[in-house]
Structure 1
Amino acid sequence: MELEIRNIHHSFSGDPVMKDMNLFLKKREFVSLIGPSGCGKSTLFNFIAGLEIPDSGTIYHVGKDITGKRGHSSYMMQKDLLFPWRTVLENVLLGPSITKQHTDKIKEEALSLFPLFGLDGYEDYYPTVLSGGMKQRAALLRTFLHNKELMLLDEPFGALDALTREKMHDWLLQVWSQMQRTVLFITHSIDEAIFLSDRIYVLSPRPATVLLELEVTLPRPRKKDMAVSPEYLKLKEELMMALYQD
């Protein structure tokens, strides 16, 4: 397994926020988390990234206990977090420049990926000239360049308009199919979860636990017209029943 979350329990100031959380990701799998706002999805990401430590339970990466340890995943938060005074290329290379890695080699790799990420020709521009979708693609390129097998994507398309968001879905699946990382993806959109994922976990309100684990058996590559197929609608109904149960 690429990632295993076992029996995570956590409270904030005595208020339980997570209870008996268990989930897993296989190598090169795309898995989504969906649940009510405030149920602890981002907190779970912080545990996986080693930014916070749960009260109890264990997080395993490729069989090793990484609870409270950093450096095993790349993490993209909800906002693009691009610095307006840095060029797009400088923003993409921010991680290597801070850690003083071999930036010439990574710069060459980054430049080779600009066309795939739809940013070719914008290397020396500043983020103010980029559209919302382009800013997210730049932030995702920066995340890919961390060269971690496990990627944590926290609602990366949540602030985009509906049309741009749909285009980003197609683009992300294209990039994922070529680069084959393991992805854990947070979303509030049932349709987004179905279209992108191999499996979906539905989380309960606080204290968060897994209500449903659902395998998405739709064939790849995914097409938008799948949204009217009986199989798609059945998956959507199961997710809605789990999310909106009394």
Structure 2
Amino acid sequence: MALKFKIVPVTAFQQNCSIIWCEKTKEAALVDPGGEAQKLLTKVESLGINITKILLTHGHLDHVGGAVEVKEALSVPIIGPEKQDIFWLQALPAQSDMFGFAGAEAFDPDQWLEDGDEIMIGESRLLVIHTPGHTPGHVVFFNDEDRLAWVGDVLFNGSIGRTDFPRGNHSTLISSIKDKLFLLGNDITFVPGHGSNSTFGHERKYNPHVADTLPI
């Protein structure tokens, strides 16, 4: 496996922030630093790797709340999500007040992402897949070589993302899962935004929201 990762749950939401790195070059990225930036920075230092970018799947507070602090500490760019999530990033102060978090300032990423973009982490390649439904600008990061995907809040072990937030859409979410993610292969292990890892094959068989082969 060329791409390594470490999951660090953060905040009261226990959001899965992933530290991912190329084993050969030690170049690394932080996916969805939702808060507790110092905790994440300490873990990065202990791993002896070099963070060169921050990647965001979508604009919800529990996935982006620590992004600016990490950016300023490491002088690295924030990349993603897709631009339709700009309204969520601009609403971070209101999100912060709503959930009782320390004040989170609105920001724009250094780079918006589009479906089909590719991101290099050392010698490992991540394909960007636009997966709207939970939010309109949600993206997934997929590494074909190691059969890994970081899916944010699109899909969970046994569940799917909420669609009752502004500009969420249930049918669009189901299409993102079945018509984009599941087509990548049953063998792919995915890291969700919350909870334990799973595979697309397991969810196709057992997840009551998206299963196409229900167990007998």
- Common fold, TM-score beyond 0.5? no
Compute the TM-score of the two structures, normalised by the length of structure 2: 0.35
Which structure has the higher relative contact order (CA within 8 Å, separation 6+)?
A: 1
Larger helix percent: 1
Larger strand percent: 2
Q: Which of 1 and 2 has greater Rg? A: 1
